[in-house]
Structure 1
Amino acid sequence: MILNCIAVDDEPLALGLVCAFIEKTPFLRLVGRYASAVEALQALHQEQVDLIFLDIQMPDLTGIELARVLDNAAEKSPRIIFTTAFNHFALEGFRVDALDYLLKPFNYEEFLRAATKGKAYFELVHRAAPAAADPKEEYLFLKVEYQLVRVAFADILYIEGLKDYVKVHLKSDQKPVLSLTSLKALEEKLPTTHFMRVHRSFIVNLDKIAAVTRNSIQIDHSTIPVSDQYKETFNEYLSRWM
């Protein structure tokens, strides 16, 4: 598998080094080099890019800001490996779902380790893609830290949306799975025959409902609120069984 890459850095020497490392790596293809995130954003509308080696501290638009723009713009946005001289951006890098974080100055061995992680990610996505496209499949893949974790639909009790991620509560595990994605994005991947949004912060597995009150749902040992916004749709579902 060959990954199309771009490098973005406002420091010419750092940009040249990353480009040289990309060209040295057999499974990477350099398709663009840019001195600003604004230039890169414009180019991404024209180029098919898998992986971005992205500096953080840049004028006009920072690497973190570009990552947020890309995350909101499309479901299949390029994955990012940050390259920065500042280690205090690591948490922000995690929040925008970066694949890895290279602290300058880094050598080729460190670069190759991060690039190999990117290659492993895309190979896993490629293997999972045919299954995900089949509506008969009974599972999905969740991005958990720097890996994809397979979760069966039947194992999901309910999903709770938080600020930067979702908590997927499972029947098989008392500890929920944390995935850095939005509740809306996850809702689009779930079969509507078995899952329903009942609150701004909750999606429930309809098959796991144990009891229903006027404003809430009981699933396992948890009580899930049903908000006014979703109550009519949920009541329509209930009326089919009453």
Structure 2
Amino acid sequence: MSINCIAVDDEPAALDLISSYIEQTPYLNLIGRYNNAIAALQEVHQSPQLQLIFLDIRMADLSGIELARIISQSDKKKNLRIIFTTAYDQYAIDGFKVDALDYLVKPFNYVDFSKAAEKARDYFFMYENSLQAGSNEFKPILEQRPYIYLKVEHQLVKVDVEDILYIEGLKDYVKVFLRSTDKPLLTLTSLKRLQEKLPVDMFLRLHRSFIVATAAIKSATKTSVQVGTTTIAVSEQFKEDFNAFLNKWVL
């Protein structure tokens, strides 16, 4: 697999470094380098083969965040991804809101760069698999592999769906509780959006704030379930689905 990419940075030294890292990575193909986001936007419009942008954030005229927002609202948002490269870590949340694959904080070395590049390789591997399966929508998380990617701090973390016990929604964030660790993963997304990425036959929405893995339910009443040592109430909104689930348990 070869991923066509460009580098965008208004600092010549940083642009040279990122370009050299791309050229050192066998599965990355550098097709352009730009010192401003407006020129990069023209490349986005003119090059259907472009797949990945290594993008600085603070630039004159058009910032990297603004460019990412333009892309996220276009029909290129699935087959064109962004990895931010910036000296300012305060933009990390903005980066996640535009679905950046990763967020590299300067100065970073080739090891850091290669980890981000590997996330891009995994993404496009799954994306191509979904296309080969005859789908025009990106569904690798459900249909191709039994895991999801969660944005945790400045990185994407791969999580086996069978490792998930339950998920708790907290306004703009969710907590994902796992079998393999006592500490939940905190990720910036909505419960509804995460639910769309989960296999419907493995998870059940019980409350506006909770999704549970059906295999993790140890006991149930008409109004709650027990997952490990945690009791999760069932709200009226989701009673119908819950009762259908309970009926499968009744002998």
Asked if 1 retains the 8 angstrom alpha-carbon contact of 2:175 and 2:185, the reply is: yes
Q: Tell me what 1:169 maps to.
A: 177
Q: 77, 80, 84: which is aligned to 1:81?
A: 84
Asked if 2 retains the 8 angstrom alpha-carbon contact of 1:36 and 1:58, the reply is: yes
Q: Are the structure 2 counterparts of residues 59 and 237 from structure 1 closer, same or farther at C-alpha, using a change threshold of 3 Å?
A: farther
Deviation at 1:205, TM superposition (A): 1.4
Q: Equivalents in 2 of 1:82, 1:8: separation in Å?
A: 9
Deviations 1:161-206 (A, max 9, x none): 3345432212343222334544334323322122112233321112
SS at match of 1:167: strand
Deviation at 1:158, TM superposition (A): 0.8
Q: Equivalents in 2 of 1:38, 1:227: separation in Å?
A: 52
2:20 maps to a residue whose letter is F
Root mean square deviation, CA, Å: 4.1
Q: Tell me what 2:197 maps to.
A: 189
Asked if 2 retains the 8 angstrom alpha-carbon contact of 1:159 and 1:167, the reply is: yes
**Structure 1 residues 89-238: aligned runs within 5 Å:** 89=91, 93=95, 99-103=102-106, 110=108, 112-125=110-123, 139-143=146-150, 144=152, 145-153=154-162, 155-209=163-217, 210-214=219-223, 216-238=224-246
Q: Tell me what 2:57 maps to.
A: 56
2:200 maps to a residue whose letter is T
List runs of 5+ in structure 2 lacking aligned partners.
Answer: 131-139
TM-score, normalised by the number of residues in structure 2: 0.67
Deviation at 1:49, TM superposition (A): 3.9
* Number of aligned positions between the proteins: 232
Q: Equivalents in 2 of 1:147, 1:77: separation in Å?
A: 17
Asked if 2 retains the 8 angstrom alpha-carbon contact of 1:142 and 1:179, the reply is: no
TM-score, normalised by the number of residues in structure 1: 0.68
Asked if 1 retains the 8 angstrom alpha-carbon contact of 2:81 and 2:101, the reply is: no
Asked if 2 retains the 8 angstrom alpha-carbon contact of 1:67 and 1:80, the reply is: no
